[in-house]
Amino acid sequence: MDYKKRQNALIEILSGKGLDSAVILCPENVFYLTGAPFVTGSADTLLYLDRDRGASLIVWNRDYEETKDRVKGVNIEKLEVGEKPIDRLKKLAVQSERAGFEEGFVNIGIHNSFKAIFDLVPLEGAIGKMREVKDADEIACIEKAQGVTDRAFSKALGRFSEGMTEQEAASELEYCLRREGAESYAFETIVGSGHRAVYPHGMPSKKKAIGGEAVVFDFGAKVDGYCSDMTRTIFFGKPNGEMVNVYEAVLEAQTAALAAAKAGIAGKELDAVARNILNARGYGKYFVHGLGHGVGIAIHEGPSASSKSEDVFVPGNIITDEPGVYLPRVGGVRIEDMILITDNGCRNLTKSKKDLTVV
Amino acid sequence: MDYKKRQNALIEILSGKGLDSAVILCPENVFYLTGAPFVTGSADTLLYLDRDRGASLIVWNRDYEETKDRVKGVNIEKLEVGEKPIDRLKKLAVQSERAGFEEGFVNIGIHNSFKAIFDLVPLEGAIGKMREVKDADEIACIEKAQGVTDRAFSKALGRFSEGMTEQEAASELEYCLRREGAESYAFETIVGSGHRAVYPHGMPSKKKAIGGEAVVFDFGAKVDGYCSDMTRTIFFGKPNGEMVNVYEAVLEAQTAALAAAKAGIAGKELDAVARNILNARGYGKYFVHGLGHGVGIAIHEGPSASSKSEDVFVPGNIITDEPGVYLPRVGGVRIEDMILITDNGCRNLTKSKKDLTVV
């Protein structure tokens, strides 16, 4: 990864805004700009990027060895026991007056502590915007993560059987993900069978998947810090006619969006391609979420492909195409691929088959 | 869970602060007060708690079915497609002037949108403070999660073998966690072997665990929304003398802290019990993190048992006791139990054995 190039691109933005520096705390942004390791959900390392003096990472004693081993070409500041990051920041930033900050991440308490050092100016999502366009190294990482995911799913299919619980099915799928090379999961694996499939975020339960129920599997791997994201819906036993209709409708909508995706169209236009098909099939009101979202270091990032999204796709965006239909108390189907937007269309990074599958 | 009791306790606090209402967005807090489901890392559902009119949950269309099925006794407001949560909040809160908010969670952008509706007053961590003292239902959940974790570890031990990669070892452990009843993991499983054990947050890699290396396993299950947290260090092959010394020192420190934990002592005092032993053994400088932290709905919550923590324990706190020693480029050992603070001591919720184990 060319971290220096990314840091320089951000410094350009700072110059344009008349800023001396930026303080960056969102761990995905810190990773994007330096490669500094993080644990999902924790914001432990602070990146101070100074127009004149470059990048400094302020790290806890605990994280020093790991950061030092993984981050090159950046000044690493190890905190002493009891020392606060803000105090070290104050020393580093003596010559900086106006600093950019992440207005969508920093809470009021931290904002107040930064305000005691700098005049603060919102970065207006600048780093998130940079992250939306993947470079070749990032595309390779995400393809690798999706390759792990495709291979794992193919192997897990041979381990599924009617009558398994959702948790048992999850255990088989995750086992295969790890064995194929997942360093962790891109998010909490979703397995929802029968009426539980209508819970878009349902955690796997002890409910058995049985009697032709549709089972939604939404899952992903993390490889080299990048996420994959994929959904397949598998029938555990022979499905009834209505759920077959739903499956075919969702697959038609998903495939149509695949064919329509390209640079220059807006998120809401791509969403409409899928939504129009589901409306025509009478299922539109049961498609209760957006068509897709960007994927990268975070499982959900820009650009958005929801029904209200004005984001216009550009080459290098990686987004999901994941329509779903959920009939309350009956069942649900979602099918999701991850695609790379290109000039004239898209490249589907997901290789797993999508024809109706019964185990 | 007695959500009404918790809501009433918060309303008492609001009254004391002269507030009409509170807006609550941190998903763990929303879950604590209502049982509303959430996905780790996403803040999708907004809780509006009004002193006079009680609790309302503002939920996305997508989350409505799941929320409705799981939350009872709370007004549920389903957003229409394209409607913003803040607009619904404005309608609900017409009679409220002064609202409490979560100053440690809400970012600047959201703060500004709330400010257009209310005079905002920080809740000063009030909900987090409530969550620090577990009630009987919560203790039962956490014990259940730790039971899953203990049984899984015991089974996984029989599946480990020298020469396995960290990812292979993780696959076996997580397989057992799911099979024993984990609805998800409490956090990203850590497996660090040999020199990688010095990375307190190292994700499992393709490195083989071999030749007597110490392998740190730090992992937990989520059951009914509550976390467990446990670390064991296992030798893959016969260990050398130095690592045996480190193991014995860490175990002595960990056991001493167990014996000292009780209501009335401060986090920094408990940390010192373990740290003094490691200092005396010459390993103090390699114990680069705090002794422990609270566990509950979140994997890291209050109270803290770090070297600077002034938190004084009370009965009902559930904290970890997890000293570690990490010798750079050599290896590391961490041992962690989860304990319930009682009047005169503590109850160890972790049943897995801690004697030096070689596979």
| Structure-token pair, residue B355 | 């004697």
The answer to whether residues A192 and A167 touch, using CB atoms and an 8 Å cutoff, is no
Are B108 and A109 inside 8 Å of each other by CB? no
Residues of B in contact with A27 (CB under 8 A): none
Tens-place pLDDT, residues B115-156: 999 999 999 999 999 999 999 999 999 999 999 999 999 999
Residue B275: strand, helix, or coil:
helix
CATH 3.90.230.10 residue ranges of chain A are 133-348
What residue type is A333 in one-letter code? V
- Which of B31, B39, B63, B165 is the mutation pick for testing A, counting most A CBs within 10 A? B39
Are B307 and A81 inside 8 Å of each other by CB? yes
CA nearest to B25, candidates B46, B39, B41, B40: B46
The answer to whether residues B90 and B84 touch, using CB atoms and an 8 Å cutoff, is no
The answer to whether residues B294 and B321 touch, using CB atoms and an 8 Å cutoff, is no
Residue A315: strand, helix, or coil:
coil
| Structure-token pair, residue A123 | 């970065």
B151 vs B154: CA distance, rounded Å: 5
Beta bridge partners of A59: A78
A84 vs A86: CA distance, rounded Å: 5
Residues of A in contact with B40 (CB under 8 A): 41, 188
Q: What contacts A85, CB < 8 A, 6 or more positions away?
A: A46, A58, A79
**What's the confidence (pLDDT) of residue B281?**
98
Give the position of tokens 């999706």.
A146
Residues of B in contact with A289 (CB under 8 A): 60-62
CATH number for the segment(s) A3-131: 3.40.350.10
- Which of A70, A183, A293, A334 is the mutation pick for testing B, counting most B CBs within 10 A? A183
CATH 3.40.350.10 residue ranges of chain B are 3-131
**What's the confidence (pLDDT) of residue B40?**
83
On the question of pLDDT at B200 being above 90, the answer is no
pLDDT band at B76 (very low <50, low <70, confident <90, very high): very high
Q: How many CB atoms lie within 10 A of CB B91?
A: 9
Q: What is the Cα A101 distance to its own chain's centre? A: 22
The number of C-beta contacts closer than 8 angstroms across A and B is 145
Are A175 and B170 inside 8 Å of each other by CB? no
The answer to whether residues B28 and B9 touch, using CB atoms and an 8 Å cutoff, is no
Tens-place pLDDT, residues B213-244: 999 999 999 999 999 999 999 999 999 889 99
**What's the confidence (pLDDT) of residue A41?**
81
**What's the confidence (pLDDT) of residue B198?**
86
Are B181 and A206 inside 8 Å of each other by CB? yes
Sheet holding A21-24, edge to edge: A75-78, A54-59, A46-50, A21-24, A98-101, A119-122
pLDDT band at B88 (very low <50, low <70, confident <90, very high): very high
Residue B15: strand, helix, or coil:
helix
Tens-place pLDDT, residues B186-198: 999 999 999 999 8
**What's the confidence (pLDDT) of residue B327?**
95
Hey, what's the torsion of the CAs at B324, A30, A18, A313, to 10 degrees?
A: -160
The values of phi and psi at residue A100, to 5°, are -80, 150
- Which of A178, A196, A219, A310 is the mutation pick for testing B, counting most B CBs within 10 A? A178
B113 vs B99: CA distance, rounded Å: 13
Q: Look up the ipTM and state it.
A: 0.95
Q: How distant is the Cα of B219 from the closest Cα of chain A, in angstroms?
A: 12
**What's the confidence (pLDDT) of residue A198?**
86
Q: What is the Cα B323 distance to its own chain's centre? A: 17
Burial of B171 (0-12, 13-18, 19+ CB in 10 A): buried
Residues of B in contact with A182 (CB under 8 A): 167
Helices assigned H by DSSP within A214-280: 241-260, 267-280
- Helices A27-34 and A3-16 pack at an angle, to 10 degrees, of 110
The shortest CB-CB distance from A37 to any of B107, B201, B206 is to: B201
Tens-place pLDDT, residues B237-270: 999 889 999 999 999 999 999 999 999 999 999 9
* Mean of pLDDT over chain B: 96
Strand-strand pairing, B98-101 and B119-122: parallel
On the question of pLDDT at B201 being above 80, the answer is no
Which chain A residue shows the shortest CA-CA distance from B199?
A: A66
As a whole-number percent, the residues of chain A with pLDDT over 70 amount to 99
| Structure-token pair, residue A289 | 């979420």
Which chain A residue shows the shortest CA-CA distance from B286?
A: A62
Q: How distant is the Cα of A258 from the closest Cα of chain B, in angstroms?
A: 23
The answer to whether residues A141 and A225 touch, using CB atoms and an 8 Å cutoff, is yes
**Which whole number is the average pLDDT over B110-119?**
94
Are A39 and B122 inside 8 Å of each other by CB? no
Residues of B in contact with A82 (CB under 8 A): 307-308
Q: How far is CA A26 from CA A42, A209, A343, B127, B316, in A?
A: 9, 39, 31, 24, 33
Are B183 and A203 inside 8 Å of each other by CB? yes
**What's the confidence (pLDDT) of residue B273?**
98
Q: How far is CA B89 from CA A244, B19, B75, B79, in A?
A: 40, 16, 13, 10
Residues of A in contact with B285 (CB under 8 A): none
Tens-place pLDDT, residues B302-336: 999 999 999 999 999 999 999 999 999 899 999 99
Residue B318: strand, helix, or coil:
strand
A183 vs B188: CA distance, rounded Å: 9
B255 vs B273: CA distance, rounded Å: 10
Q: What is the Cα A25 distance to its own chain's centre? A: 18
Residues of A in contact with B193 (CB under 8 A): none
The answer to whether residues A335 and A251 touch, using CB atoms and an 8 Å cutoff, is yes
**What's the confidence (pLDDT) of residue A346?**
98
Rg (CA), chain B: 22
Give the position of tokens 């994280």.
A63
The answer to whether residues B116 and B269 touch, using CB atoms and an 8 Å cutoff, is no
Are A188 and B187 inside 8 Å of each other by CB? no
Are A183 and B203 inside 8 Å of each other by CB? yes
* pLDDT beneath 70: ranges in chain A: 201
Q: Which fold has domain B133-348?
A: Creatine Amidinohydrolase (3.90.230)
* Mean of pLDDT over chain A: 96
Q: What is the Cα B111 distance to its own chain's centre? A: 26
B254 vs A345: CA distance, rounded Å: 58
Q: What is the Cα A254 distance to its own chain's centre? A: 19
Beta bridge partners of A305: A292
